[in-house]
Each structure stands twice: as structure tokens, then as C-alpha cells.
Amino acid sequence: MPLALIGALMFRANVPMALALTWITNPFTTLPIFYAAYYIGALILDAPMISLRLIARMIADFSTWVFSDGANPFITYQGSFSIAAFCLGLVIMAVVTSIVCGITFKILWRYKVVTTWQQRHGYRPKKNKPPKS
């Protein structure tokens, strides 16, 4: 979240949206996001596809490696896992989802601002106005 805040301030982006989007990746969504990233990268780089179970095992091994003295998963699964495909997929997913979420947020924000302004100023659609004489 601190990096998202700093990045949003540096690039004059929407701070609430940047902070809220950091919460998308959590323990429940990590596995599908990582699998989708690897799948996209593997399609583009023509790398061998791996199973969802192997990615789950790699995430578990990675957390064991970081927090205790387990085996390095990048060395253990070196033959079946392409780090280049995974990183490329993550970058593509990050760019696409940031564009889609940014556009969606702008549309929703614009709708809210317009409807609030219309309510505040007593705007009524043309069909409810009496004809001019």
C-alpha cells in the first residue's frame, strides 16, 4: 500500500483506487492470479504449461523458503516452470487490469458526479417539462 500511495501521488493518479486495488491479491486470489499469469505468459512464449497443483505447491514452497529453511522453489522446479513466462504474464495482466479498472472507475465516478449534480440542481428530464408557449 505505501508503494501504491507513492506511485499514485507521483503520477497524479486516483489515490483511493490505487489503495483499494492493492487488496485484490490476497490468500484466496493468489493461486488463480498466478495461474492466469503463467498461462498468458506460456501462451505468448510457447513455454510448457504447468498444472494448478504445481503452482499451489510452488507458492507453499516459496513461503516455506522465505520464512524458514525450505528448498528454493525456483531451483526445485527449474525444468517445469518458466520464470520468464510467469513475469511476462504478470506484466500483461497488470497493464490490462489497470487500464480496465481505471476506465471503469472513471465511468462510475463520472456517473455519480453527474447524478449528484442533477439532484442538487433540480434537473428534470425534458419529457417532464411543460411545452414552451
In the chain, domain spans: 26-124
Q: 3-class DSSP state for residue 37?
A: helix
pLDDT at 107: 95
pLDDT tens string 73-128 = 666 666 677 889 999 999 999 899 889 988 998 899 899 999 998 888 887 766 65
Asked whether the CA dihedral 80, 85, 87, 91 is positive or negative, the reply is negative
pLDDT at 29: 85
Asked whether the CA dihedral 92, 96, 99, 102 is positive or negative, the reply is negative
pLDDT tens string 34-63 = 899 999 999 999 998 888 888 888 777 777
